[in-house]
Structure 1
Amino acid sequence: MKVLVVDDEKDITALVAYHLEREGFRVLQAHDGLQALELVKRERPHLLVLDLMLPHLSGLDVCRRLRKEPDTARLPILMLTAKAEETDKVLGLELGGDDYLTKPFGPRELVARVKALIRRSEETQEEEVFKVGSLEIDLGRYTVSIRKRAVELTSKEFDLLKALVLAKGRALTREFLLARVWGYERASEIESRTVDVHVRRLREKLGPEATRIVTVKNVGYRFDQDT
């Protein structure tokens, strides 16, 4: 498994690389946004650890560009930020980050989050095609289409949709979804917003089928299969 670590502070990339390599990962390093895009294109990493404050091209801009390309739209991205404000974290998630970690961080926590993201992106999907209305979800091929036209989802958006679909109409709490999709054992208020941000992005992409994702007040979300 290849992990690309992007940070302009070389001591941080070296520290992260040391701990990830101890766990068997092959680690690539970049120190600015443009170099990161070049390495992603050339090396095809399985996951990106991305600092937000980068020279030449910010981490947010890197994330935005990767999400626009079909080949990298589902690349798991763990964002690193020295900014602890909620708005900064939410912005990162809205632009396509799958998880975030605030500096200073513990290397063991970073490794755990990297493993969780990769585990979920590499899980064997059920050989099942789910169809409702004009929506078709191929759980084996990891694809979604509406009226036979492909819908590009990130890995986390797909995993979220999958969890809701497989619940067969049952309401799922934000805490359950955070544990199931993101691997969080406990959820802070900010982490709970992660679910809301991804649901909003998912609804935008599902267009005419967005109303199937129903908000259940004081609980979470459910997928409506009946209408």
Structure 2
Amino acid sequence: MRILVVDDVADIQVLLVAVLQRAGFEVIEAADGTTVESWVRDSRPDLIILDLMMPGMDGWDTLELLKSNPESIDIPVIISSALSEDEDFDKAREMGAVDYVPKPWSADDLIARVNKAVEASQQAA
């Protein structure tokens, strides 16, 4: 299972990678939304964990790009963000995200949500 982690904060990305690798996942890293399209095309992740607040192409624009592209429309996306308003949760789901994990998250909660998204994706396939 290959997961693409997209977050511009290096400390958070390092923590995400460590948690996911300990759980047995292969992890690919991107520091912003501009490289996501090439990662999807070249490495075809099974799941994407996406931050919303990034410089340049933010997570909202990245999510819109992913869900409008036939190559990535079916890849589950979990949002991991410090934005914690209900409107943000609702907007992310309306745009096609399968889950929203507010920061700071616990490792156990994150892994549970990743496993749930992976299971749902495999059942839909």
| Global fold match (TM > 0.5) | yes
Partner of 2:103: 103
Deviation readout 1:4-40 (Å, 9 max, x if unpaired): 0110011111111111111111001111110222212
Partner of 1:25: 25
Partner of 1:128: none
Q: CA deviation at 1:72?
A: 1.1
- Give the alignment's TM-score, normalised by structure 2: 0.94
1:57 correspondence with 2:49: no
What are the residue-to-residue correspondences of 1:1-227 with 2, within 5 Å?
A: 1-123=1-123
Deviation readout 1:163-195 (Å, 9 max, x if unpaired): xxxxxxxxxxxxxxxxxxxxxxxxxxxxxxxxx
- Give the alignment's TM-score, normalised by structure 1: 0.53
Q: Is the 2:40–2:71 Cα contact (8 Å) retained in structure 1?
A: no
Percent identical across equivalent pairs? 36
Instruction: State the structure with bigger RCO (CA 8 A, min sep 6), 1 or 2.
Output: 2
Query: 1:90 is aligned with what amino acid?
Result: D
Cα distance between partner residues in 1 of 2:14 and 2:36: 16
Query: 1:71 is aligned with what amino acid?
Result: E
Cα distance between partner residues in 1 of 2:119 and 2:88: 26
Deviation readout 1:68-122 (Å, 9 max, x if unpaired): 1122111100001111111111111111111001111111111111111111111
Query: 1:40 is aligned with what amino acid?
Result: V
Cα distance between partner residues in 1 of 2:13 and 2:117: 19
Q: Secondary structure at the match of 1:3?
A: strand
Identify unmatched segments of 5+ residues in structure 1. 126-141, 143-227
Query: 2:101 is aligned with what amino acid?
Result: L
Deviation readout 1:137-158 (Å, 9 max, x if unpaired): xxxxx5xxxxxxxxxxxxxxxx
Cα distance between partner residues in 2 of 1:10 and 1:116: 26
Q: Secondary structure at the match of 2:29?
A: strand
Aligned length: 125
Instruction: Give every structure 1 segment of 4 or more consecutive aligned residues whose post-TM-superposition deviation is greater than 3 Å.
Output: none
Identify unmatched segments of 5+ residues in structure 2. none
Cα distance between partner residues in 1 of 2:23 and 2:106: 15
